[in-house]
Structure 1
Amino acid sequence: MQEVVLVVHLLITLALIGVVLVQKSEGGGLGVGGGTMGGFMTARGSANLLTRTTAILAALFFCTSLILAILAGTGGSQKSIFDKVPAPGTEAPAAPAEPAKPTVPVGQ
């Protein structure tokens, strides 16, 4: 389930990036097509379509993000790494290791 939502999330992300890049900016930097759509849509019509598409994709992105966060939080057996750390004072201190005895070479 989580993998399916993740794939949909990535597709929405790519579509959102594409729609944002196609929109005409204030300075006209990355705008493609502007008012030269051949009479199919006016400049105002294409701007409204792109704005609506961006809003819908943003809402879908937000929803899939929430769904992924909820699915990650209910992972079942997955626990936090802090659950493995013992509480202070519950573990006995380790006994000090005995110092290593010096070894004498056999030939001397």
Structure 2
Amino acid sequence: MENVVLIVHLLLAFGLIAVVLLQRSEGGGLGMGGGGGAVSGRAAATALGKLTWVLGAGFIVTSISLTVLVAQKSSGASVLDRLSATPPAVTDTETGLPAGDSLLPPTAEDNAPLVPAAD
């Protein structure tokens, strides 16, 4: 059920992005400008405008649905409850750090050629 709602949610998100990008820009920031729409007080409800409202409402509904589904799934379980009482002991081999002597830069002996010299 959760996967179905999530897929619908993603489709609504992509549809909402596409519809908003298809709409005509009014040219001004924050609704300023645009000529007739600003003078009349109320912009004409176009088909893209109505579709934006429908997709936006569906997006909000699926967002709330996903929140409720996840909350029901994880009810009674806390992150702190899942932690063990004592953490496992860490040994030197588990840290992944090299031994202390290999932290030094290589010496001339380390850079010796791998092939023996021909006499």
TM-score relative to the length of structure 1: 0.57
- Of Structure 1 and Structure 2, the greater helix share is in 2
Residue type of the partner of 1:22? L
Displaced runs of 4 or more, over 4 A: none
Structure 1 residues 76-100: Cα deviation after superposition (integer angstroms, max 9, x where no partner): 57822122458xxxx8xxxxxxxxx
CA distance in 1, matches of 2:61, 2:6: 12
Match of 2:8 in 1: 8
Structure 1 residues 20-54: Cα deviation after superposition (integer angstroms, max 9, x where no partner): 000011129xxxxxxxxxxxxxxx87x61111000
Give the root-mean-square deviation of aligned CA atoms: 2.8
- Listed as ranges, the gaps of 5+ residues in structure 2 are 29-42, 86-119
CA distance in 2, matches of 1:17, 1:3: 21
- Listed as ranges, the gaps of 5+ residues in structure 1 are 29-43, 92-108
CA distance in 2, matches of 1:60, 1:51: 14
Q: Percent identity?
A: 44
Q: Secondary structure at the match of 1:24?
A: coil
